[in-house]
Amino acid sequence: MGQLSLEHITKEFGDGENHVVAVDDLNIDIEDGEFLILVGPSGCGKSTTLRMIAGLEPPTKGDIVLNGTPVTQRKPKDRNMAMVFQSYALYPHMTARENMSFGLKMTTEMPAKEIDERVKNASRLMGIEDLLEKKPGELSGGQQQRVALGRAIVRDPEVFLMDEPLSNLDAKLRTTMRTELQDLQQDLDVTTIYVTHDQTEAMTMGDRIAILNDGELQQIGTPAECYQEPANQFVAGFIGSPSMNFFDTTLGDGALSTDDFTVTLPESVKAELSGHDSEFVLGIRPEEILSGDEAVDHPDSFSIEVNVVEPLGDVTYLYTEFGGSEVTISVDRNTEINPGDQVTVALPAAEIHVFDRDTGNALV
Ligand code: ATP
Instruction: For residue 208, give every residue at least 6 positions away whose Cβ sits within 8 Å of its Cβ, in sequence order, or none.
Output: 34, 35, 36, 37, 220, 221, 222, 223
What is the band of 147 on the pLDDT scale with cuts at 50, 70, 90?
A: very high
The confidence band for 307, taking pLDDT boundaries of 50, 70 and 90, is very high
The pLDDT, as a whole number, for residue 77 is 87
Q: Which CATH class is domain 245-356?
A: mainly beta
Residue limits of CATH 3.40.50.300 in the chain: 4-238
Predicted confidence (pLDDT) at residue 180 exceeds the cutoff of 90: no
Q: Whose CA is nearest to atom 26 of ligand 1?
A: 13
CA separation, residue 179 to residues 150, 172, 176, 206 (Å): 16, 11, 6, 11
Residue 26 near ligand 1, beta carbon < 6 Å? no
Taking residues 91-115, report their average pLDDT: 92
- pLDDT reported for residue 176: 87
pLDDT, position 357? 95
Q: What is the pLDDT of residue 106?
A: 86
What does the pLDDT read at residue 199?
85
**Mean pLDDT to the nearest integer, 180-188:** 90
Confidence of residue 321 (pLDDT cuts 50, 70, 90): very high
In this structure, the residue with its CA closest to atom 21 of ligand 1 is 22
Say what the pLDDT of residue 174 is.
87
pLDDT at position 168 is 83
Answer yes or no: is pLDDT of 172 > 90: no
At 80, is the secondary structure helix, strand, or coil?
coil
CA–centroid distance, 48 to ligand 1, in Å, is 6
Taking residues 324-332, what's their average pLDDT? 97
**4-238 homologous superfamily:** P-loop containing nucleotide triphosphate hydrolases (3.40.50.300)
Q: Which of 346, 124, 146, 327 is nearest to 245 (CA)?
A: 327
pLDDT digits (tens, 9 = 90+) for 349-362: 999 999 999 999 99
What is the side-by-side strand order in the sheet with 61-66? 20-30, 4-13, 61-66, 69-70
Q: Is the pLDDT of residue 346 over 90?
A: yes
pLDDT digits (tens, 9 = 90+) for 108-125: 889 999 999 999 999 998
Q: Looking at residue 1, what is its pLDDT?
A: 83
Output the residue whose Cα is nearest ligand 1's atom 17. Answer: 43
- Residue nearest atom 19 in ligand 1 by C-alpha distance: 43
DSSP one-letter string for 13-43: E-SGGG-EEEEEEEEEEE-TT-EEEEE-STT
**Separation of CA 47 and ligand 1 centre (Å):** 7
Mean pLDDT of 261-274: 93
Sign of CA dihedral 330, 333, 334, 339: positive
> Average pLDDT in the 138-162 region?
92
pLDDT of 18-41, one tens digit each?
999 999 999 999 999 999 999 999
Q: How much of the chain exceeds pLDDT 90, in percent?
A: 83
pLDDT, averaged across the chain:
94
H or E segment to which residue 174 belongs: helix 171-188
Ligand 1 pocket, residue 197 CB under 6 Å: yes
Ligand 1 neighbour 47 (Cβ under 6 A): yes
CATH 2.40.50.140 range(s) for the chain read 245-356
Ligand 1 centre and the CA of 33: distance in Å? 28
Nearest-atom number in ligand 1 for the CA of 47 is 7
Q: Hey, whose CA ends up nearest to atom 20 of ligand 1?
A: 43
Of 36-45, 175-184, 222-231, 246-255, the one with minimum mean pLDDT is: 175-184
Stated pTM of the model: 0.92
Write the CA distances from 118 to 60, 95, 113, 212, integer angstroms.
37, 16, 9, 36
pLDDT at 38: 97
Q: Is 196 in the pocket of ligand 1 (CB under 6 A)?
A: no
pLDDT confidence bin for 326, thresholds 50/70/90:
very high
Q: Which residue has its alpha carbon closest to ligand 1 atom 14?
A: 45
